[in-house]
Amino acid sequence: MSMEYEHQLMAMQISPADAHGTTPGKEQQAAGVGILLQIMMLVLSFVLGHVLRRHKFYYLPEASASLLIGLIVGGLANISNTETNIRTWFNFHEEFFFLFLLPPIIFQSGFSLSPKPFFSNFGAIVTFAILGTLISSVVTGILVYLGGLIYLTYRLPFVECLMFGALISATDPVTVLSIFQELGTDMNLYALVFGESVLNDAMAISLYRTMSLVRSHASSGQNFFMVIVRFLETFVGSMSAGVGVGFTSALLFKYAGLDIDNLQNLECCLFVLFPYFSYMLAEGLGLSGIVSILFTGIVMKHYTYSNLSENSQRFVSSFFHLISSLAETFVFIYMGFDIAMEQHSWSHVGFIFFSIIFIGVARAANVFSCAYLVNLVRPAHRQIPLKHQRALWYSGLRGAMAFALALQSVHDLPEGHGQTIFTATTAIIVLTVLLIGGSTGTMLEALQVVGDGLEGTLGESFEGNNGYIAPSYNEEASSGNRIKMKLKEFHQSTASFTALDRNYLTPFFTSQNGDEVEELGKIELAWISSSYFHWSTIKR
């Protein structure tokens, strides 16, 4: 609109909205209709998910149903020629995505971790999440780059291939985990899949931001050492910020005396604010808010949560579960809607096809190599069986984090490159969520891991040192196998951390001593085990 035209409208006291036939009242009405449509889609997703779960129809999990609802509504919008109006209703900036939708999902992931199975498999989880994600990212990036060199795929610069490898390595097995719970699988397998997905989001976003920084400073000749330093600065700095905020909250709730009846509202409000404080602190320092809020969730559940009153504990658990469920469902709906409405770069179908193959190969390199290293450390009765390794490989769905980073890549990369990566990522998300998520039940039955349940594994997994396994090492091991012995020494540090936590950290940061926490953990574990056994018996 020209400046002269605007001045004429102002002289006539006519607003630009009125000149185009729209008034503020109509805009408000359109916004209300848009919000109503979003609420209806959310309600439909939750109701449909409940009906499917109640009838044990595992071929269409809740996440898949939400994605399909978004696809259908977006497709209908295109057919009915109402794309422009509906796009204005659903048009939100990626800042809304990163600041309001992702944080509660990531915090709930850390907050809902069960300490016993998580720390029992902590060494394996860290290996899969950190070393495995690094392997997966590098292998994917190299394969995509080589595919471009031999004209199999759309050719991208090497650093951009590594950025794509990093963002597509972020797994989101929410669909698989829900089916794991429904069918009853081995607790250690569940802990590995869940723990890896929680920590690998932090690793993937740190790798992506590091590669993005390398790309933007490519002309300055940064060497490989500086890349490693920058990655450690982002990951370790963000983790330290999150852990520091979590410990600060634990001390506040321990000594502030908020666990009395007339201060429970204040107690709950402060608890809810700390995760966002952690997120904004990290972002303000130029670090990763996602990594920070994840570790804040882990620390706050382990230490701060026990300092709350019983009513506040029930409230915050329900509140964060509610908010994360709404956010995650909305993310899948939006992904489906955006896929149907967005102008995608479908001219590079070969890039999408071969990328799916490449991430399957990279996932295999991740899982089987890391499982081999973990099995070098573990005693025979604790090794990860091959069927569990295959289940881990199959569980590598892509979801919210990969979508968010791909959305960001559209702005970070040159025109065409970012759009191609975004199109490939959304296609991979749809295929993995619908096909892999829908076939998870069949996969579990084929691998014969259904019904491995808690009752047969809890006794083995959590006996000994406060729920952590102290491996029995073979004293007659070959003196030449130094790598294996070093790995075993590293594994022993888990038990040392347990003793440190029980004897020093728990008494300092909570109002309970280590023995009380241990007894509560045993009671909680026994209750979970008996409930799981009862559920599995009913299902059979």
Which pLDDT score is estimated for 14?
47
| pLDDT tens figures, 114-173 | 767 777 788 888 889 889 999 999 999 999 999 989 888 888 888 889 999 999 988 876
Using the predicted structure, report yes or no on whether residue 465 has a pLDDT greater than 70. no
Backbone dihedral angles phi then psi of residue 519, each to the nearest 5 degrees: -65, -40
Higher pLDDT pick, 142 / 416: 142
CA angle 399, 400, 403 (to 5 degrees): 85
Distance of alpha carbon 164 from alpha carbon 155, whole angstroms: 12
Which pLDDT score is estimated for 70?
85
Which pLDDT score is estimated for 82?
57
Of the listed ranges 32-36, 55-59, 388-392, 458-462, the one predicted with least confidence: 458-462
Of the listed ranges 129-143, 324-338, 474-488, the one predicted with least confidence: 474-488
Distance of alpha carbon 133 from alpha carbon 168, whole angstroms: 10
Q: How many residues does the chain have?
A: 540
Which pLDDT score is estimated for 125?
87
CA angle 407, 408, 412 (to 5 degrees): 130
Which pLDDT score is estimated for 488?
55
Which pLDDT score is estimated for 487?
52
Distance of alpha carbon 143 from alpha carbon 133, whole angstroms: 15
Higher pLDDT pick, 231 / 24: 231
| pLDDT tens figures, 61-113 | 777 888 888 888 877 777 766 555 566 666 556 677 778 888 888 888 888 87
Which pLDDT score is estimated for 528?
43
Of the listed ranges 271-280, 335-344, 500-509, the one predicted with least confidence: 335-344
Work out the pLDDT band at 190, boundaries 50, 70, 90: confident
| pLDDT tens figures, 247-261 | 999 999 888 877 666
Higher pLDDT pick, 452 / 146: 146
Quote the percentage of the chain above a pLDDT of 70: 72
Q: Describe the chain by its helix, strand, coil percentages, rounded to 5.
A: 80, 0, 20
Distance of alpha carbon 387 from alpha carbon 382, whole angstroms: 14
Distance of alpha carbon 44 from alpha carbon 103, whole angstroms: 24
Helix (H, G, I), strand (E, B) or coil at 245: helix
* Sign, CA torsion 88/90/96/98: negative
| pLDDT tens figures, 299-323 | 999 888 988 888 888 999 999 989 9
Using the predicted structure, report yes or no on whether residue 279 has a pLDDT greater than 70. yes
* Rounded alpha-carbon distances, angstroms, from residue 531 to 192, 460, 527: 21, 18, 6
Q: Decide if 90 contacts 219 (C-beta within 8 A).
A: no
Per the DSSP assignment, residues forming a β-bridge with 465 are 468
What does the DSSP 8-state code read for residue 346?
A: G
Which pLDDT score is estimated for 141?
92
Joined together, the tokens standing for residue 48 give: 């449909």
Q: Which of 233, 226, 232, 272 is nearest to 249 (CA)?
A: 272
**DSSP letters of 50-101?**
HHHHHTT-TTS-HHHHHHHHHHHHHHHHHHTT-HHHHHHHH---HHHIIIII
Summarize the confidence of residues 447-471 as an average pLDDT: 45
Which pLDDT score is estimated for 455?
41
Distance of alpha carbon 523 from alpha carbon 276, whole angstroms: 32
Of the listed ranges 7-11, 58-62, 507-511, the one predicted with least confidence: 7-11
Q: Decide if 325 contacts 288 (C-beta within 8 A).
A: no
Using the predicted structure, report yes or no on whether residue 435 has a pLDDT greater than 60. yes
Which pLDDT score is estimated for 368?
93
